[in-house]
């Protein structure tokens, strides 16, 4: 499981209980291209993962497949979105295509699944992901970091920032600058839904309202989906 400790807060737009923003997808590599507008009148579960994320493949994706198989005939759609907020050399469109076409995994995912005896032929998943898979829309970061970006990032996390000693404030500002500069791309879906890391799930009801955003193993997806199915 990979955790992104910090994220640019200025790009957040998803609010639970309100209409969900659209997903940012650069390319659908499996299944017909779709969008939340096209999935209206359906309950939509979006599984957000990284190709180089062992926990995603050991726990989250198998759980999403279970939900797909259990509820596919009850108006529930499952979509997989591969994102990248780190390891940009591994969390690529090319590696997602390879996963979709051959089941082959790479990097830390391959290492962990191999250790637990969960691969076939040495590098392939023993299961097929049955739902559509898309790649998050990644925008190249231009390297310029504004003071406004830095403060928008800091204030929600350190509300008392202005009253801290000057030396401390300067250290935090420098760390945030370094963080932004280390990021090669901004992942649209990841940022829009204020995700904390991968695996994460996004749950949207039949009316297009965002009902839940969860990071890691939540254990409550099945019961939430049942509740949404039973809603008028």
DSSP secondary structure code for residue 51 in this structure: T
Q: Is the pLDDT of residue 182 over 80?
A: no
User: What per-residue confidence (pLDDT) applies to 5?
Assistant: 39
* Residue 196: alpha-carbon gap to chain centroid: 8
The mean per-residue pLDDT over the stretch 48-69 comes to 96
Sign of CA dihedral 112, 30, 47, 193: positive
Per-residue pLDDT reduced to its tens digit, 62-90: 999 999 999 999 999 999 999 998 899 99
The mean per-residue pLDDT over the stretch 156-169 comes to 87
Question: What is the percent of the chain where pLDDT is above 90?
Answer: 67
Angle at 44 between CA 38 and CA 47, to 5 degrees: 115
User: What per-residue confidence (pLDDT) applies to 11?
Assistant: 43
Among the four given CATH numbers 3.40.50.150, 3.40.630.10, 1.10.3210.10, 3.40.30.10, the one describing domain 2-141+183-222: 3.40.30.10
User: What per-residue confidence (pLDDT) applies to 14?
Assistant: 79
Cβ-count burial 185-224 (b if 16+ within 10 Å, e if not) = bbbbbbbbbbbbbbbbbbbbbbebebbbbbbbebeebeeb
Per-residue pLDDT reduced to its tens digit, 110-142: 999 999 999 998 899 999 999 999 999 998 877
Integer Cα distance of 211 and 224 in angstroms: 9
The mean per-residue pLDDT over the stretch 169-182 comes to 82
Q: Is the pLDDT of residue 146 over 90?
A: no
User: What per-residue confidence (pLDDT) applies to 9?
Assistant: 37
Confidence of residue 143 (pLDDT cuts 50, 70, 90): low
CB distance 49 to 154 below 8 Å: no
3-state secondary structure 110-129: HHHHHHCCCCECCCECCCCC
């Amino acid at each position: 499981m990979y955790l992104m400790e910090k994220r640019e807060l200025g790009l957040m737009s998803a609010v639970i209980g309100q209409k969900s923003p659209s997903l940012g997808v650069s390319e659908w590599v499996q299944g017909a291209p779709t969008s939340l507008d096209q999935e209206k009148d359906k309950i939509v579960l979006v599984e957000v993962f990284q190709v180089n994320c062992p926990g995603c493949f050991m726990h989250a994706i198998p759980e999403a497949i279970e939900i797909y198989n259990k509820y596919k005939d009850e108006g529930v759609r499952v979509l997989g979105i591969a994102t990248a907020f780190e390891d940009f050399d591994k969390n690529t469109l090319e590696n997602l295509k390879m996963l979709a076409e051959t089941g082959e995994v790479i990097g830390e995912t391959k290492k962990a699944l191999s250790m637990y005896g969960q691969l076939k032929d040495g590098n392939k998943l023993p299961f097929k992901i049955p739902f559509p898979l898309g790649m998050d829309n990644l925008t190249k970061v231009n390297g310029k970091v504004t003071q406004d970006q830095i403060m928008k990032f800091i204030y929600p996390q350190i509300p008392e920032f202005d009253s801290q000693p000057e030396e401390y404030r300067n250290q935090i500002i420098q760390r945030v600058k370094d963080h932004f500069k280390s990021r090669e791309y901004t992942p649209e879906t990841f940022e829009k839904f204020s995700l904390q890391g991968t695996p994460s799930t996004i749950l949207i009801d039949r009316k297009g309202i965002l009902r839940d955003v969860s990071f890691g193993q939540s254990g409550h997806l099945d019961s939430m989906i049942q509740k949404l199915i039973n809603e008028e």
